[in-house]
Amino acid sequence: MSDPRVRRGRWYSLTAILLVCACGVVSGARSIDEVAEWGQRASNALLTVIGIRRHPLRWRRTPASATIGRVLGAVDGDALDRAVGPTWPTGTAPPSNPP
């Protein structure tokens, strides 16, 4: 899946932003603001794994809600479905009550 943003001025990778969104939603976030808040509260260790890089001044900042909203608005939903969809068998939903 290609990144719809222009290369100049990008601080966060598309993968990192989408992972922040996925983790936030799995944790109960119901809006872009709540996803951004989840990112602000996440530990540095988790942010490192997700791919949020450290600033040269040694601090780590997650994408703001405006950044998340712009990226989600620009992403091709069908391409995202094709990229993520093969992880679930056709015609089934994710398990609601894992064992």
More confident residue, 50 or 56: 50
Residue 71 has pLDDT above 70, yes or no: yes
pTM of whole model > 0.85? no
**Pair 21, 39: CB distance under 8 Å:** no
- Residue 48 has a pLDDT of 87
Structure tokens at 76: 């091709």
What's the pLDDT score for residue 61?
Answer: 79
Percentage of the chain beyond pLDDT 90 is: 18
Instruction: Tell me the CA distances in angstroms from 61 to 3, 32, 44, 49, 95, one per residue in order.
Output: 20, 16, 9, 14, 33
For residue 77, pLDDT over 70 is answered with: yes
Name the residue with higher pLDDT: 11 or 28. Answer: 28
Burial class of residue 21 in the structure, from the number of CB atoms within 10 Å of its CB (0-12 exposed, 13-18 middle, 19+ buried): buried
Q: Which residue has the higher pLDDT, 21 or 98?
A: 21
